[in-house]
């Protein structure tokens, strides 16, 4: 009994120290990985690199160091990491075949960082959704919609579809259509629309705004107005100009017709 207790104490001491050492390595390694990630991100920010590259590189650095920490902790437990790595390699192949979608997301994220079709802060439309890019991670991209919803999109889905970047050029053309009645003066209507656009300081001088008759509709003569504004001013300009146009048309006595039909009734005499 005494020998058994002595053996148990030796084993507990021996393996207990190994478990303790492994736990210390894991905790310290994780702390170091976070610290290195912050240092890398700070250095890249000081180098004025794009925020997209900063986040992606930081996450990749943290995962690589965390994997190294886990291997070091296993080594403290007495597990042969060389054979373990070989087993992981075989298991990784099987897992890779099962997780083709995740690997494609990783590859897509790498390509997005490399070619940069959009950056953090850009407003994009892709994969059936639209929003401001908040973060590009290894497997997913996070978007914030105008109504403040968070949308997490797999990277592979983004690269597999058309990407519309509304922010990259810095300016946007506002396409607005105004309908007037057939009996109204089109020259006067053009003057009203042009005066609204010319009086707005947000409208860019180059390219010059266009105001012209667009088409002769079923119940209205349609004018198109195409001014250029900065991307950030797009919606404010749209809403305010629509309101100004209605008020200016009312003051000028210009009607804004609604769809209507003329019905002719014929009476047949028996």
- Digit-coded pLDDT (tens) for 74-106: 776 666 656 555 556 655 555 554 455 667 787
The answer to whether 76 and 25 have CB atoms below 8 angstroms apart is yes
Helix residue spans in 99-167 (DSSP H) = 100-115, 155-159
- Percent of the chain, pLDDT > 90? 40
pLDDT tens digit string along 121-176?
A: 899 999 889 999 998 887 889 999 999 999 999 998 888 889 999 988 999 999 99
Cross-sheet strand order for the sheet of 210-216: 176-180, 221-226, 210-216
Residues 123/132, Cβ–Cβ less than 8 Å: yes
Q: Are 174 and 226 in contact (CB under 8 A)?
A: yes
Hunting for tokens 């914030």 — which residue is that? 144
CA 222 to chain centroid, in Å, comes to 35
Q: pLDDT at position 165, please?
A: 93
DSSP for 178-204, written as a single string = EEE-TTS-HHHHHHHHHHHHHT-TTS-
**Could you tell me the domains of the chain?**
8-98 (1.10.287.1260), 117-165 (2.30.30.60), 171-252 (3.30.70.100)
Query: pTM for the full model?
Result: 0.60
Rounded to the nearest integer, the mean pLDDT of the chain is 82
What is the average pLDDT across 28-57?
A: 78
């Amino acid at each position: 009994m005494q020998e058994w207790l002595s053996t148990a104490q030796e084993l507990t001491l021996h393996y207990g120290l190994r478990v303790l050492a492994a736990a210390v390595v894991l905790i310290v390694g994780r702390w170091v990985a976070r610290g290195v990630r912050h240092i890398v991100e700070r250095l890249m920010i000081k180098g004025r690199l794009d925020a997209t590259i900063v986040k992606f590189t930081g996450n990749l650095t943290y995962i690589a160091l965390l994997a190294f920490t886990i291997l070091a902790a296993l080594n403290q437990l007495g597990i042969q990491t060389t054979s373990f790595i070989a087993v992981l390699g075989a298991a990784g192949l099987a897992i890779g075949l099962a997780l083709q979608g995740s690997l494609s997301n990783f590859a897509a994220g790498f390509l997005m960082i490399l070619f940069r079709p959009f950056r953090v802060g850009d407003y994009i439309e892709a994969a059936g959704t639209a929003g401001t890019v908040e973060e590009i991670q290894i497997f997913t991209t996070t978007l914030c919609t105008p109504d403040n919803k968070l949308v997490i999109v797999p990277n592979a889905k983004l690269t597999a579809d058309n990407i519309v970047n509304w922010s990259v050029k810095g300016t946007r053309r506002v396409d607005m259509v105004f309908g007037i009645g057939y009996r109204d003066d089109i020259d006067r209507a053009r003057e009203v629309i042009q005066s609204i656009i010319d009086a707005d300081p947000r409208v860019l001088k180059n390219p010059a705004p266009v105001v012209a008759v667009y088409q002769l509709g079923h119940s209205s003569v349609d004018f198109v107005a195409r001014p250029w504004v900065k991307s950030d001013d797009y919606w404010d300009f749209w809403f305010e100009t629509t309101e100004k146009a209605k008020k200016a048309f009312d003051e000028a006595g210009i009607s804004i017709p609604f769809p209507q039909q003329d019905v002719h009734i014929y009476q047949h005499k028996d």
